[in-house]
């Protein structure tokens, strides 16, 4: 698993943990408040709806960010792959040139030795 994937997972965990903490805190505050049960239930229901909507928004943002990071990673890897292939090709050319030069030199030495 890549570091970016772990970072996105961590971010999602923090967001979800924060939302759950906020929900629990809001529920406790409402239950401790001196008001009728119907009002408390209505407030809890409303807060639950708001938190659900916020969680959907945050999870969508986290998903988009993860997709962006994945695309950036893919782009970087493709560039590095192209650079690596280019370097390998240059290495092959250099090796072929050196081989040719060495063979030519060997032929000269061989011709001189025969003469």
Query: DSSP 3-state assignment of 36?
Result: coil
- The residue with tokens 């993860």 is 66
Q: How confident is the model over 38-61, as a mean pLDDT? A: 84
pLDDT, one tens digit per residue, over 20-47 is 777 777 777 766 767 677 877 787 788 8
pLDDT at 2: 59
**Using CA of residue 36, residue 42, residue 45, residue 46, what is the dihedral sign?**
negative
- The residue with tokens 């999602």 is 12
pLDDT beyond 80 at 9? no
Global pTM reads 0.48
Average pLDDT for the chain = 83
pLDDT, one tens digit per residue, over 68-100 is 888 999 999 999 999 999 999 999 999 999 999
Closest by Cα among 59, 62, 57, 32 to 44:
32
């Amino acid at each position: 698993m890549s570091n970016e994937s772990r970072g996105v997972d961590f971010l999602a965990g923090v967001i979800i943990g924060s939302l759950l903490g906020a929900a629990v805190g809001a529920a406790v505050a409402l239950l401790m408040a001196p008001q009728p049960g119907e009002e408390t239930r209505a407030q809890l229901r409303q807060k639950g709806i708001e938190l659900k909507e916020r969680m959907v928004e945050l999870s969508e943002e986290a998903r988009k960010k993860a997709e962006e990071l994945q695309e950036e990673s893919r782009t970087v890897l493709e560039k590095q792959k192209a650079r690596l292939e280019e370097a390998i090709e240059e290495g092959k050319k250099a090796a072929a040139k050196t081989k040719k030069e060495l063979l030519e030199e060997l032929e000269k030495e061989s011709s001189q030795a025969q003469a």
